[in-house]
Amino acid sequence: MGHMLNNTIQDVLIRRARMRGFNACWVPGTDHASIATEAKVVALLKEQGIHKADLSREDFLKHAWGWKEKYGGIILEQLKKLGASCDWDRTSFTMDEGMSEAVIDTFIDLYNKGYIYRGVRMVNWDPQGLTAVSDEEVIHKESTGKLVYVKYMISGTETQDVPEFITVATTRPETIMGDTAVCVNPTDERYVHLKGKHVIVPIVNRIVPIIFDEYVDAAFGTGALKVTPAHDINDFNLGQKHKLPTIDALTQEGKISEAAGAYVGLDRFACRKQIILDLTEQGLVEKVEEIKNKVGYSERTNAVIEPRLSMQWFLKMEDISKPALDAVVNGDVKLIPEKFINTYKHWMENVHDWCISRQLWWGQRIPAWYDGQGNTVVAKTKEEAFALLKAKNTSIDSNDVKQDDDVLDTWFSSWLWPMTVFDPKIITNGWDKANEDLKYYYPTNDLVTAPEILFFWVARMIIAGKEYTGLKPFNNVYLTGIVRDKQGRKMSKSLGNSPDPLDLIAKYGADGVRVGMLLCSPAGNDLMFDESYCEQGRNFANKVWNAFRLINGFEVSMPEALEGKETIYQPESSKAAITWFEQKLSEQLEIINDHYSKHRMSDALMATYKLVWDDFCAWYLEAIKPDFVDGKALPMDKSTFDATINFLEALLKIMHPWMPFITEEIWHSLKERDAKDCIIVAEWPTSLTTIDKKQLAEFEFSKELVTMVRNVRAQKQLSPKEKLEVFEKSNSERSYFDTVIIKLANLSAFNYTTEKVDGAFSFQIETTEFYIPLSSNINVEEEKERLLKELEYHKGFLKSVSVKLSNEKFVANAKPEVITVERKKESDALSKIASIEEQLKSIF
RNA sequence: GGGAGAUUAGCUCAGCUGGUUCAGAGCACCUGCCUUACAAGCAGGGGGUCACAGGUUCGAACCCUGUAUCUCCCA
């Protein structure tokens, strides 16, 4: 579902940009998702009884490509169903020939610049995927673990009657065999006497030193820490500092290794249980506590991550990432919403070197070559590598040249995306020789993506862009929310709580799904997705279709012989409604444009929704709809019909980014058009240069009056068909919208009077009084009660305003506009009270 | 452990620089209507102590402090 949201937003942006006359280009594509894909392919082969280990690299890759051909296009097909208006001819894949070559070129270039190095480092090891994963691919989850207090005997005290022990607390007793020291804080008085002493590691009886380091927190556990440099990053750092040996007690599958010297071959978790039992038996367990700790899991395989020492390739991040940090901090690249700037900044300022090698086959193979004698070179081809190695090792035979087995992290290819989709040669050619496409489209305008890959992808694209073009890759990064279900869980295929987008489209239509997704997606906030939003989207599409049916069915009074001349006059009410809606459309269009400019998508959609449903359908169309006489609709005058068609066309355009299918359909059903006259390339409407706010306000007033009359009907149980008469108490006559009021409220007449109308039902809007003479008698008691209630309300209001105005400090400090408004409120309230009191008097 | 953000109607969210009776929208809900575009609809209606406690101010949903709860990111 994340894809659906993401791509709907992109499509809305691209369609609107296209309509505004921009050369809008949206490049679709996919990455090769090395870990996930390889895991899928391995599993698939296993079902067929084939083991990866039995296959050659080439054969395995054939299977992987087969899998990619079969499943890789699914998402793109879903996008087409959703109506994504991509530039499909440009569809790209991170393992396309050109893109792959660019990845290799990038590696070589960065290596030559000294950014890439190879080294033994502590990496996050996925014992199931059998590969290192980056820090960002580790998900930390809280879990309950056991903190085991294990007693280590002080060496040399074993012959004493009462041997001396030091107790260490550990959550990972299975790594005891890898211990090469015990560490305490030098200021911890409990242990100062142990300076220079050694302890005996249980199980393996190894004698290791007690070391002192500030790193240890004296308050945690016993204040003593077992140091296992091979299995914990902090221990590793301690080991480096104190020059401790490293014993790797685990295999890459997460089993106990030969080097451990005990429990060899046992699974790490089974070993943890067994070792606690054995130590307890030996009397070496002081106690066991339950504690909450965070455990890292592989994002791809969900296996518990094992910190593991291994030889990996790294990219030095400190220098290369600096321009990318600046670009966001100084606003050159805008993050939307802005709250992500802090997160980004924090990450970029504390960036770690990026482990870019993966122990997989599916991906771009690292262009590093070895001679088996300890020499390493980086080169594009074996021949080049051979030549380079020859320089270091004259006795080398070409058969000795072996390429590194690992591939590069997928993000090491997708970070080039904004450049290489246009020009795969950019890495070697440089910006000055970039092709036309890249020069034209780069930097791109908008990137829409999920906040979870802000660092994986967004930050790195900025880094690569700055490095190879000197420019940012995009102006705006719109970060969508995460799609969650009603219980707040992230929607994912693995959890099985995600509806199939194609099913949703079948049920609600692509337009319905698009509208549904965006109705509930505030920028940057997660969205609690529920199918009912799609239902609302479908209902809206239905409403639009019905409005079209109505308009399409209008019979225009235009005998062919009289073309160009009216055969019937345009009703005043239609004329007034057209004047109003022209203003309303402009007003709302400006609001919608403003929402777009601020990337407030759901607000832009809701404004569109209300403009169409409320203003156009509920008010405008009702106002111009011809009357029925003898069961037949009267024909409509041509001026009104033409104006209505123009309005509908403008509205269709405004709706088009959200609902491309229905708007295109209606666009073509409305009239015969040229083959190229499609709404997808129609021009985005423009608004009037000046908007008559006064007139808009006047119409709002008229709407309120109509509503009041409808209320009276409901209260008095009068049929909507019974015509009523309304009087307005006023000195001036003729509001522009009287004819519309007469039509919509179904009045026999709308009159003005300077005198109160006796015995009529009365009400007020703002400070104006209205009367409706009713044939049936007014219930005096009911009326009195209603008026008294109103009176009470206005008196209360008056009081609060008067208090405010009599407060000297308020009058002295408040802005003059505010005081003026308060004064007006006061006088309005007074006049209302007076008129209600007068009415009350007349009832008695 | 460090950092970021949030808490407003049953649900999902707006609410800009403190100032209109400012507490708002959509959905859901309630009432009445199958009124020849639309019951996937029309007309009308109810509903919130703006998380809590203080403070600043003539004035606080909005600014400050603390508390609680939740979410996310990093270690």
Residue numbers 130-149 of A with CB closer than 7 A to any atom of strand B = 135-136, 138, 140
| pLDDT at residue A559, rounded to an integer | 55
Instruction: Give the pLDDT band (50/70/90) at residue A1.
Output: confident
**How much is the pLDDT for A758?**
79
Tokens for A563?
Answer: 């073309």
Distance A486 CA to B67 C1' (A): 29
What is the reported pLDDT for A466?
95
Q: Is there contact between A350 and strand B, defined as CB under 7 Å from any strand atom?
A: yes
Q: What tokens were used for A240?
A: 């480096």
Q: Is the CB of A823 under 7 A from strand B?
A: no
Interatomic CA–C1' length for residue A714 and nucleotide B43, angstroms: 8
What does the alpha-carbon distance between residue A101 and residue A798 come to, in Å, rounded to a whole number? 78
**With a 7 Å cutoff on the CB, does A489 touch strand B?**
no
Question: Is A324 a residue whose pLDDT tops 80?
Answer: yes
Q: What is the mean pLDDT of chain A?
A: 88
Q: Is the CB of A800 under 7 A from strand B?
A: yes
A461 vs A345, more confident:
A461
For strand B, list residues 522-581 of chain A whose Cβ lies within 7 Å of it. Answer: 522, 525-528, 530, 532, 536, 538-539, 541-543, 546-547, 549-550, 553
Checking if the pLDDT of A85 tops 90, the result is: yes
Q: Which residue is nearest to nucleotide B21 (CA to C1')?
A: A797
User: Alpha carbon of A277 to those of A171, A173, A176, A281, A288: distances in Å?
Assistant: 14, 11, 14, 6, 11
CA angle A225, A227, A228 (to 5 degrees): 140
User: Nearest CA to A242 among A232, A230, A229, A226?
Assistant: A229
pLDDT of A456 > 80? The answer is yes
Residues A722 and A561: their CA atoms lie apart, in Å, by 39
Please answer whether residues A840 and A788 qualify as being in contact, where contact means their C-beta atoms are separated by less than 8 angstroms.
Answer: yes
pLDDT tens profile A218-257: 777 788 889 998 888 788 888 888 888 989 899 988 899 9
Angle separating helix axes A738-745 and A693-716, nearest 10 degrees: 30
At residue A158, does pLDDT exceed 60? yes
Confidence band, pLDDT 50/70/90 cuts, at residue A821: confident
**Per-residue model confidence as pLDDT tens digits over A464-502:** 999 999 999 999 998 887 787 766 677 766 666 778 889
**Mean pLDDT in residue range A676-695:** 92
C1'-nearest nucleotide to the CA of A233: B75
Between CA A537 and C1' B23 the distance (Å) reads 28
- Residue A152, token pair as written in the block: 């280590």
**pLDDT tens, residue by residue, A350-399:** 888 888 998 889 999 999 999 988 899 999 999 999 999 999 988 888 88
The candidate with the shortest Cα–Cα distance to A83, out of A425, A509, A573, is A509
Find the nucleotide nearest A721 (Cα to C1′).
B35
% pLDDT > 90, chain A: 48
A651 CA vs B19 C1’ separation (Å): 37
Between CA A539 and C1' B41 the distance (Å) reads 10
Query: From the CA of A603, how many Å to the C1' of B29?
Result: 24
- The answer on pLDDT for A615 being more than 60 is yes
In the chain, the amino acid numbered A301 is T
The pLDDT of A37-45, averaged and rounded, is: 87
- Structure confidence by residue, pLDDT tens digits, A7-33: 999 999 999 999 999 999 999 999 998
Round to a whole number and report the distance in Å from the CA of A84 to the C1' of B61. Answer: 40
What Å value separates CA A814 and C1' B60? 15
The answer on pLDDT for A67 being more than 80 is: yes
Q: Does nucleic acid strand B have an atom less than 7 angstroms from the CB of A341?
A: no
What confidence score (pLDDT) does residue A755 get? 85
Q: pLDDT band for position A524 (50/70/90)?
A: low
CA–CA gap between residue A337 and residue A523 (Å, rounded): 6
Q: Which nucleotide has the shortest C1'-to-CA distance from A542?
A: B40
Provide the CA A444 to C1' B25 distance, Å, integer: 34
More confident residue, A375 or A840: A375
pLDDT-derived band at A61, boundaries 50, 70, 90 = very high
A346 CB contact with strand B at below 7 Å: yes
Spacing of A679 CA from B40 C1' in Å: 25
Instruction: Measure CA to C1' and name the residue nearest B18.
Output: A814
What are A530-575's pLDDT values in tens digits? 888 999 999 999 999 999 999 999 988 765 555 556 567 899 999 9
A219 CA → B28 C1’, Å? 54
pLDDT on residue A521: 72
pLDDT at A801 over 60: yes
Q: Report which of residues A568 and A179 the model is more confident about.
A: A179
Lookup: tokens for A792: 């009470």
Q: How far is the CA of A537 from the C1' of B34 (A)?
A: 23
Closest protein residue to B5 (Cα–C1'): A339
The percent helix, strand, coil of chain A (3-state, each to 5) is 50, 20, 35
Asked if residue A342 keeps its beta carbon closer than 7 A to nucleic acid strand B, the reply is yes
Distance in angstroms: CA A286, C1' B23: 61
In this predicted structure, the answer to whether residue A103 has a pLDDT above a threshold of 60 is yes
Torsion of CA A700, A706, A709, A713, to 10 degrees: -130
- Closest nucleotide (C1' vs CA) to A539 is B40
DSSP run (H or E) holding A4? helix A2-19
A window 417-456: Cβ near strand B (< 7 A): 451-452, 455
| Tens digits of residue pLDDT in A716-775 | 777 778 888 999 988 776 678 999 999 999 998 899 998 888 778 888 887 788 988 876
* Nearest residue to B39 via alpha carbon and C1': A539
* A521 contacts: CB under 8 Å, gap ≥ 6: A5, A9, A480, A481, A527, A601, A602
- What H or E segment, with its residue span, contains residue A155? none
- Is pLDDT at A779 greater than 80 in this prediction? no
Q: Which residue is nearest to nucleotide B58 (CA to C1')?
A: A810
Strand B neighbours among A 139-198, CB < 7 A = 140
CA→C1' distance for A64 and B17 (Å): 58
Task: Respond yes or no on whether the N-terminal peptide bond of residue A443 is cis (omega within 30° of 0).
Answer: yes
What is the greatest pairwise CA distance in chain A? 126
Q: Which of A32-36, A272-276, A448-452, A560-564 has the lowest mean pLDDT?
A: A560-564
From the CA of A536, how many Å to the C1' of B22? 29
Q: Given this model, what pLDDT does residue A563 score?
A: 58
Which bases of strand B sit closer than 7 A to a protein CB?
2-5, 11-14, 19-21, 25-28, 35-38, 40-45, 57-59, 71-75
Q: CA(A800)–C1'(B49) in Å?
A: 19
- pLDDT of A122 strictly over 90: no
How many other CB atoms are found less than 10 A from the CB of residue A107?
24
Report the C-alpha gap between A569 and A32 in whole angstroms. Answer: 67
Strand B lies under 7 A from the Cβ of residue A332: no
pLDDT at A843 over 90: no
Q: For residue A476, how many other CB atoms are within 10 A of its CB? A: 15
Note the CA–C1' distance, A278 to B15, in angstroms.
64
Q: What is the DSSP string of A327-366?
A: HHHTTSSEEESTTHHHHHHHHHHTPPPEE-EES-SSSPBP
Would the Cβ of A66 be found within 7 angstroms of any atom in strand B? Answer: no
Q: What is the mean pLDDT of residues A822-831?
A: 82
